[in-house]
Amino acid sequence: MEPVVELTGIEIGFPGVKALDGVSLRLLPGEVHALMGENGAGKSTLIKALTGVYAIDAGSLRVDGQEHRFSGPAESQAAGISTVYQEVNLCTNLTVAENMLLGREPRRFGRIHTRAMNRRAAEVLARLGLDVDPTSTLGSHPIAVQQLVAIARAVDVDAKVLVLDEPTSSLDADEVRVLFDVVRSLRDQGVAVLFVSHFLDQVFELSDRMTVLRNGRFVAEHRTAEITQLELVQEMIGRELEVLERLDRQPADPAAPAAEPVLKVVGLGRSGELEATDLALHEGEVVGVAGLLGSGRTELARLLVGADVADRGEVQVQGRTRPWRSPRQAIDAGVAFSSEDRRAEGVVGDLTVADNMILALQATRGWLRPVPQRTKDELVRRYIEALDIRPADPNALMRNLSGGNQQKVLLARWLITEPRLLVLDEPTRGIDVGAKAQIQQLVAELAADGMAVVFISAELEEVLRLADRVVVMRDRRKVAEQVNDGLEVSDVLRTIAGAGESAVALEVVPDAEEAPRA
């Protein structure tokens, strides 16, 4: 079968960095092709070369056998290549139909023909098996539906190739199944789908073929059925999987005398977001928070650090009740927070790695007392080495780093402030297995050195791997809490599902209404 897209010997460089070095990729019609590699392997750069965002320095790009040199995304789209990125870049204030046909609206007598636009959108949605009202406002739908609308928009331009960049990172299991049904439907219609994901199980479930990159170079192409997950990960990281061996962490001894908590919340809650919650956090302990999307995990994190203001309950720091109405008060008390939305609430793309890393420390000092340059250089050098941040260039712009390395810089930002409590909301989401293992190891080491850590993740294996205690959230309330002395994923899943709690080795907490309130 002739490939619909073939890239051969692609080279792209930035000042001081060779992002792609002789990379090749071929996409066949009617196949789902996974692009695999660690963060920083060159996946995003290759996608941007294919979609006309980056100019190619060397190599060839052919679409249907014709060589192209795209000067921008419009030329790539005109050649039949459509892309849906991890963050849905649509207009939530417009209707579904308006988003799908934005810039291509049917017109009548010089005006937008709304009825024809809605009819066209309905036809495309029906063809993909999606039951979505084209006249509804896009922002009224959950992120999963918005993602599907973005795909519908992408294929409505007679796309030969559909590029999906981390499309499932914000979806739950049911939403992923719907998305996969749509992707399979497009594959069966002859579309070539390029699928990028860090979820290995999803890659092996959906893809027919895969290409592996490492350090900006082509490693191999495989039929998915002919390679194991272990072999794939070894190709991605270029070494044996010793980094993924179980961490040598011992759960906290429940019989040991409890020291004064670093932070304790009593009846903490916020109307419409989180029911009244009790939680005590101790030195040297990792408290894992598990639950489905929308269960209240992030809402709990934001209340713990003052990012959102509670309307009930109280916060105690080392036994003393403290006002808790802003992140600044939390920072002053030694509480640091890494948000799940690192692009909107963490990364400052136009600043350097060094400037991003030093932001929190500078904020604690005030802008009239700048951090001395020598101190700044020493701190940045130390954490670049300690966290293996790549490239190891403090002057590199933050926006040019991979997601995993951006996450490491954000962790360094807070570690520099020497917090007593670190709240991490999805710190490994969207990053590769190697960087994920490094961050998990770092969390274990921080706890061993006495730091209290709240670790929130949708991946239950990750929570159980790290946590001394596990808090389970459901329906915006805390429903269970237990020492992790051998908990299994199935135990936590049953509690999350709300079925058979009596048979689960988790201590179910009282209803939120019974919890003490301030």
Average pLDDT over residues 253-277: 81
Q: Write the pLDDT tens digit of every residue in 330-368.
A: 988 999 998 877 777 788 888 999 999 998 888 888 878
Average pLDDT of the residues in 285-299: 87
The pLDDT of 13-39, averaged and rounded, is 89
pLDDT 10s digits, 88-97: 677 888 999 9
Instruction: Give the per-residue pLDDT at 305.
Output: 93
Q: Which range in 23-37, 142-156, 230-244, 498-512 is most confidently predicted, on average pLDDT?
A: 23-37
Rg of the chain taking only CA atoms, in angstroms: 24
Rounded distance between C-alpha atoms, residue 271 and residue 273, angstroms:
6
Beta strand segments in 132-285, E: 161-165, 192-196, 209-214, 217-223, 263-270, 274-281
pLDDT confidence of residue 300: 95
Of the listed ranges 78-82, 121-125, 448-452, 490-494, the least confidently predicted one is: 490-494
Confidence category of residue 486, pLDDT binned at 50, 70, 90: confident
Which pLDDT tens digit goes with each residue over 161-178? 999 988 887 677 777 888
Q: Can you give the pLDDT at residue 513? A: 35
Q: For residue 311, is pLDDT > 80?
A: yes
358-367 confidence digits (pLDDT tens): 988 888 888 7
Q: Which amino acid is at 24?
A: S
Phi, psi angles (nearest 5°) of residue 177 = -60, -40
- Show the DSSP H helices in 52-94 as ranges: 73-78
Least confident of 78-82, 150-154, 280-284, 308-312: 150-154
- Residue 253 confidence (pLDDT): 54
Look up residue 109 and give its two tokens: 């007598």
Do strands 209-214 and 217-223 pair parallel, antiparallel, or not at all (unpaired)?
Answer: antiparallel
The pLDDT confidence band at residue 502, using thresholds 50, 70 and 90, is very low
pLDDT in tens, 420-430: 999 999 888 76
Least confident of 70-74, 81-85, 172-176: 172-176
User: Measured between alpha carbons, how far is 10 from 460 in angstroms, rounded to an integer?
Assistant: 38
Q: Is the pLDDT of residue 14 over 50?
A: yes
Distances (CA, A) of 60 to 24, 64, 68, 74: 9, 13, 8, 19
> What is residue 227's predicted lDDT score, i.e. its pLDDT?
93
Is 271:476 a contact under the CB 8 Å cutoff? no
**Which residue in 255, 315, 303, 261 sits closest to 285, CA to CA?**
261
pLDDT of 155 above 70: yes
pLDDT score for 250 = 54
* C-alpha to C-alpha distance for 495 and 78, rounded to whole angstroms: 50
Which band of pLDDT confidence, cut at 50, 70 and 90, is reported for residue 244?
very low
More confident residue, 400 or 1: 400
Confidence at residue 107, expressed as pLDDT on a 0 to 100 scale: 87
Confidence of residue 86 (pLDDT cuts 50, 70, 90): low
Nearest alpha-carbon partner for 484 in 463, 503, 500: 463
Q: In the chain, what are the domains?
A: 5-244 (3.40.50.300), 260-334+421-518 (3.40.50.300), 342-418 (no CATH)
Strand order in the sheet with 286-290: 335-338, 421-425, 452-456, 286-290, 469-474, 477-483, 507-508
Whether the per-residue pLDDT at 374 is higher than 70: the answer is yes
Mean pLDDT of the region 443-468: 89
Residue 373, CA distances (Å) to 205, 356, 380, 395 in order: 51, 14, 10, 14
DSSP string across 464-518: HHH-SEEEEEETTEEEEEEE-SS--HHHHHHHHHTS-GGGSSSEEPPPGGGS---
Which whole number is the average pLDDT over 282-304? 90
When the pLDDT of each residue in the chain is averaged and rounded to a whole number, the result is 84
Report residue 229's pLDDT band, with 50, 70 and 90 as the boundaries: confident
In this predicted structure, what is the pLDDT of residue 514?
A: 36
